[in-house]
């Protein structure tokens, strides 16, 4: 399949949020990525349900929602109601991960599991049969504009081998330091979904940057 591009609103200009979302609508982006941070699981606070509700009302793209929060089970149905199409939880934040991802799918959303840079992909082996996507964090989560962690390539390759060997239909998404200089290598390593924030919204022509990310071979 062709790879997908999911621009991250964390890097958008929130003083002109409608303009930013409409730009993504007109672009070749496939999804729109929303990072939800609670200031506990990560040392930053981003935005909550009013912003998600607004983006859903404005966006023509599926909402790709990443929960970087403690005890995400409290809010699964609320994010479904807010319009999330894909809901990703952090492996490190879930005490009963099987129960959590099962509930996400029961609610009608695609279920993703995110791994922090230090977490080995081997820990996902028993959960792969019931998830739709794995998000590999290629920076330490919490803040945009960080540099890509080069060791991530080996981790992605290991995960791709696990997925292919098991015959699973699971997408690999990456987030953190993604731009036109490393996107092609990431795709070659086995990535299906590119999340790009700062490289898109800080560029002189965000829609053109999205086009370049989307048309890489």
Residues with catalytic roles: 35, 175
Closest CA to 20 of 32, 2, 30: 32
Could you tell me the end-to-end alpha-carbon distance of the chain, in angstroms, rounded to an integer?
12
- Do the beta carbons of residue 138 and residue 146 sit within 8 Å? no
Q: How many Å apart are CA 8 and CA 26, to the nearest integer?
A: 15
Run of H or E including 166:
helix 152-166
Q: How many Å apart are CA 34 and CA 24, to the nearest integer?
A: 13
């Amino acid at each position: 399949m062709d790879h997908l591009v999911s621009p991250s609103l964390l890097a958008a200009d929130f003083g002109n949020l409608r303009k930013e979302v409409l730009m993504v609508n007109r672009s070749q982006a496939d999804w729109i990525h929303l990072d939800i941070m609670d200031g506990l699981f990560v040392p930053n606070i981003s935005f909550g349900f009013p912003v998600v509700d607004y983006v859903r009302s404005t966006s023509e793209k599926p909402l790709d929602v990443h929960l970087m929060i403690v005890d995400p089970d409290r809010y699964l149905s609320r994010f479904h109601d807010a319009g999330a199409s894909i809901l990703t939880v952090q492996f490190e934040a879930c005490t009963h991960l099987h129960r959590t991802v099962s509930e996400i799918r029961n609610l009608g959303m695609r279920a993703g599991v995110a791994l922090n840079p230090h977490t080995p992909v081997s820990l996902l082996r028993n959960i792969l049969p019931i998830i739709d996507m794995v998000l590999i964090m290629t920076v330490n989560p919490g803040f945009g504009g960080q540099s890509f962690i080069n060791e991530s390539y080996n981790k992605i390759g290991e995960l791709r081998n696990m997925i292919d060997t098991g015959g699973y239909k699971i997408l690999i998404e990456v987030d953190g330091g993604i731009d036109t200089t490393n996107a092609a290598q990431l795709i070659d390593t086995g990535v299906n979904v590119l999340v790009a924030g700062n490289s898109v919204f800080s560029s002189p022509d965000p829609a053109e940057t999205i086009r370049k990310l989307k048309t890489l071979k």
